[in-house]
Structure 1
Amino acid sequence: MTGKFDTSSGTQWLTIPENVNPRVLATREGYDLWSEIYDSEQNPLILLEEPEVKFQLGNVHGLSVADVGCGTGRHAIRLAREGAKVTALDFSSGMMGRAKEKAVGCSVDFVMHDLRMPLPIPDRSMDRVISCLVIDHFHAAQLPTLFRELGRICRQDGFILISVMHPAMLLRGVQARFADPRTGVEIRPKASTNLVSDYVIAAQIANLPFLALSEHTMDVGIAAKAERAQKYIGWPVLLMMKLAPQGVSNI
């Protein structure tokens, strides 16, 4: 265990590094490599997140949904099978390739796209906009631009749903990571050490009112399915944000 002293507050924060020698890759390169094993891992964060996304989205039959940062299509494909018309965007060719392999027979329009650029989707064209386990790869200064884009494409009567690893995990030295399937070395796609306040401020700058903000801890049920989750029981692991598009008042 190592101690880090915050001189601005006079508080000593204890950090517990999970791996002292991880290999950090550019985000795209990291996810291209991760795509080889992404769907076969028992990732405790995903086990916690997927049911929550499903619950908060509700019935999507007949709706247009944008999955911004779709990865291997874990949400996009399920939503399409539930009757949604899905547009799924990602910049990782490895992740997108896996998603397309699984999406045979599903109504998903896959688009290779760097989310740092304006989204190739018309204004107010989506009933639901989701961005799941993506925004921790954006610097705080980049977040308002992305949030504005998410709001721009969302219909006035729709909403935006965002999930991200809880910043509290940074206190344990944790970020998005996986073991290289060839070498076993821990790989970390480049990410940013954003705080909850960074996400809240970005939503405010983008004029996206909060409909809900929730924090989710690791529970024993998920830990029973994924052994590596045992050490996180009781910790806030997941942050969820449900936002209204621009111009809509808080509900």
Structure 2
Amino acid sequence: MNNQEAYNSWAAIYDDNHNKTRDLDALVTQKVLGQYTFENVLELGCGTGKNTVWLAKHAKEIWAMDFSSEMLGKLKEKLDTNKLNLYEVDIQRIWPIASQQVDLATTNLVLEHIQDLTFIFKEAARVLKSGGTFFVSELHPIKQYLGSKARFETGGDLQTLDCYIHHISEYLEVAKRTGFECVDLQEWFDDNNRTLPPRIVSFVFTKKD
């Protein structure tokens, strides 16, 4: 099954199954973005809304995109759609968002499924206002080197998704080429235990004037 089919299947249990990466990512998002103010937000790969619900408490309007209809269905059950604009789209194609429409764009645990990051960063630069913020939170490449990747079990079968390793230097280089400056880079550990490999890496990029 391809990634889209896999996420449609995963949606039924995504919020309930044991997932350290999902849970740490949610904590990271709130801790980092809790230091910022924003009104108009674009969320790439919103999934079932694990971060959308929190973002909605702080934003006036949200544009949320995902290629999984089943994941989006779960999100609709959680949020009043008055401030939420949902799009079932592939983020590797031109986004249905106007240029300079948002002041914050976010992507969480999504870019490991994207082979070429350049298009994503270019589109983020297009839709963000000058000085806008692009927040990225991903499975740390060290965890990937050790064999971790997005996977889940359904019907007794283990489903493993197609993933690509992006080194930290790659994120920084692509950001620089597409008009962003990295203003925050952090590594996050299970239970803050720094004797273990980090699980999550997060970046805050600012769109240059």
Q: TM-score, normalised by structure 2?
A: 0.91
Corresponding residue number in structure 2 for 1:196: 168
Question: Which of 151, 173, 176 is the equivalent residue of 1:177?
Answer: 151
Corresponding residue number in structure 1 for 2:135: 161
Q: Distance in 1 between matches of 2:192 and 2:104?
A: 31
1:100 Cα deviation from its structure 2 partner: 1.1
Structure 1 position 79 matched with structure 2 position 55? yes
Corresponding residue number in structure 1 for 2:204: 242
Structure 1 position 206 matched with structure 2 position 178? yes
Q: Secondary structure at the match of 1:193?
A: coil
1:105 Cα deviation from its structure 2 partner: 5.8
Corresponding residue number in structure 2 for 1:119: 95
1:30 Cα deviation from its structure 2 partner: 1.1
Contact 2:108/2:138 (<8 A) preserved: yes
Q: Distance in 1 between matches of 2:8 and 2:65?
A: 15
Residue-by-residue CA offset, 1:52-107 (whole Å, 9 max, x unaligned): 21122127777011111101111112221344311100111111111112223662
Contact 1:145/1:206 (<8 A) preserved: no
What amino acid does structure 1 have at the position aligned with 2:78? K
What amino acid does structure 1 have at the position aligned with 2:180? L
Structure 1 position 70 matched with structure 2 position 41? no
Q: TM-score, normalised by structure 1?
A: 0.77
Give runs of aligned pairs for residues 44-123 of structure 1, distance below 5 A.
44-58=20-34, 63-104=39-80, 107-123=83-99
What amino acid does structure 2 have at the position aligned with 1:72? T
Q: Distance in 1 between matches of 2:60 and 2:36?
A: 6
Contact 1:217/1:238 (<8 A) preserved: yes
Contact 1:62/1:85 (<8 A) preserved: no
Contact 1:219/1:233 (<8 A) preserved: no
Q: Which moved more, 1:145-154 or 1:212-221?
A: 212-221
Contact 1:71/1:95 (<8 A) preserved: yes
Return 5+ residue gaps in structure 2 as ranges: none
Larger Cα Rg: Structure 1 or Structure 2? Answer: 1
Q: Distance in 1 between matches of 2:80 and 2:181?
A: 37
Contact 2:106/2:134 (<8 A) preserved: yes
RMSD between superposed Cα atoms in Å: 2.1
1:176 Cα deviation from its structure 2 partner: 0.8
Q: Distance in 2 between matches of 1:55 and 1:200?
A: 21
Contact 2:39/2:60 (<8 A) preserved: yes
Q: Secondary structure at the match of 2:46?
A: coil
1:155 Cα deviation from its structure 2 partner: 1.3
Q: Secondary structure at the match of 1:173?
A: coil
Aligned length: 209
